Amino acid sequence: MSSVTNAGLLDVYLETLLAGNRLAARRAIENAEVIGKNAQELLIGLIWPAMETIQAWFKENRVNRSTLNLATRLNRSIADQVAGKLDRRESNHRKVLIFCGNDEPEELGGQIAAELFEADGWTVRFAGGGVPADEVLKLIGDERPDLLVMYATLAGGMPAVRRLIDYLREVNSCPAMQIMCCGGIYKRAEGLAEEIGADLYAPDAAEAVQIADAQPFRRTTLDQQTMGGTRRLRQAAARRVLDLQR
């Protein structure tokens, strides 16, 4: 984003969100468009940092739950409108399946990720949060995605994600599929995504698309998968080697 956002557009937009002022929030977006901001710039440089700022303030007890909910849901509504104006590329014939943490800010981040992937030419399935592991596996089997994105998993959901990745590696389910961990706890805990066996890591939704495009064949190594399930992963790798030799 240009200096216009840095000079105060974000502050103005945050003020409208925290007040729950829907009309003023839309006017802030319209003013940004008037000065030349396109949809992707607004999602990445305004709506996204607004979400991160409000979430940080909530964790610091600077805003309460009702204010968080007002701001996050209004921001999500604005994101819907802005996403409809994204420039869209031709299909790249790749499919991404996205899950996220089971809370409103994580849902908004996952939604922005879904919108950016779709605009980039991906076929997107965004399942949100709170999906049981067996249903995640069924969706993977039904959709056969090229990329599975676990966006901003909440801390309490980490054991389930770890078990899911272990299982996918062990049974060699959907072997062509990459696994990406993005944002949230993965951003705060350096190296966590790699440790639990993800092929790709991105700090936020914007970089997720860039990284997925730039590294379509990257796979994590067994030595990097150091957090649980290592013995089973090595056994699975050995079985795959035997299968290739037959």
Domains and CATH numbers, the chain: 3-83 (1.10.1240.10), 95-243 (3.40.50.280)
Residue 105 has pLDDT above 70, yes or no: yes
Q: Summarize the confidence of residues 28-43 as an average pLDDT.
A: 92
Q: What DSSP element (H or E) covers 148?
A: strand 147-151
Confidence of residue 236 (pLDDT cuts 50, 70, 90): very low
Question: 97 Cβ partners below 8 Å, 6+ apart?
Answer: 125, 127, 139, 140, 143, 145, 147, 148, 149
Mean pLDDT, the chain, whole residue set = 87
pLDDT tens string 201-224: 999 988 999 999 999 999 887 666
- Contact, 232 vs 168, CB < 8 A? no
Q: Summarize the confidence of residues 193-202 as an average pLDDT.
A: 94
Q: Summarize the confidence of residues 223-241 as an average pLDDT.
A: 47
pLDDT of residue 75: 95
pLDDT of residue 200: 97
Cα 6 to Cα 11, 131, 241: the distances in Å are 9, 37, 53
Residue 104 has pLDDT above 70, yes or no: yes
Residue 159, beta-bridge partner list: none
pLDDT tens string 9-28: 999 999 999 999 999 999 99
- Of how many residues is the chain composed? 246
Q: What is the percentage of the chain residues whose pLDDT exceeds 90?
A: 69
Residue 138 has pLDDT above 90, yes or no: yes
Read off the pTM. Answer: 0.83
- DSSP state for residue 202 in the 8-state scheme: E
Tokens representing 216 are 């379509």
Q: Summarize the confidence of residues 35-55 as an average pLDDT.
A: 91
